[in-house]
Amino acid sequence: VHDIGKAFTPTEQLPSHKGHENRGINAIKEICKRLKIPNKIRDFALLSSMHHMKFHLIQDMRVGKLYDLVSNLQIGHTNYVVDFIKVCRADFESTTMENKGHLLRQFEDSAQLLLKVSDILQNIKASDMPNFNMLPKDERFSQCFREYKIRVLKDQLSIKE
């Protein structure tokens, strides 16, 4: 259902489907409601629709954007990165294009980077932060933790910004 928004593309915009990733959100919600799809699956379908167009940009993303993408693919205690890659692979395989072999290599590299970011993030604990015991656990703490995780990602991925 990640491409269902294409059905709602205004005719004057065709054959382009720019913005379809968000245009299908209400349809996905309605389908899931009507079919009584479990909320976890509905939420993953919504995330897949909203984020699948970002997949081809992964190699050029800054660390903060990679962090945000992987974090968005975490619902509760469930990590949907592998499932998201499967959706993106199906999307990739369904398209016809020239030099698909070269693009397949890029796809695989992006998938590996996303998996690596996910693995790194799963192993970071708030208690690993410098001066964790002295940090106030207030509304700013989550921002400090986010910044810490992005620094760790930069170091482990050896990315300079």
DSSP per position, 62-104: -HHHHHHHHHHTEETTEE-HHHHHHHHHHHHHT---TTHHHHH
Is the predicted pLDDT of residue 52 greater than 60, yes or no?
Answer: yes
Give residue 37's pLDDT. Answer: 97
**Stretch 129-143: mean pLDDT:** 89
More confident of the two residues 7 and 123:
123
- Residue 19 is predicted with a pLDDT of 67
61 contact partners, CB below 8 Å, separation of at least 6? 54, 69
Percent of the chain at pLDDT above 90? 61
For residue 123, the model assigns a pLDDT of 94
pLDDT in tens, 55-105: 989 999 999 999 999 999 988 788 999 999 999 999 888 877 777 777 899
pLDDT value at position 2?
A: 66
Q: Is 75 left (phi over 0), alpha (psi -120 to 50) or beta?
A: beta
pLDDT in the model for residue 160: 56
Predicted confidence (pLDDT) at residue 45 exceeds the cutoff of 80? yes
Per-residue pLDDT of 18-43, as tens digits, reads: 766 777 888 899 999 999 999 999 99
Residue 138 is given by DSSP the state S
pLDDT value at residue 111: 97
Looking at residue 7, what is its pLDDT? 67
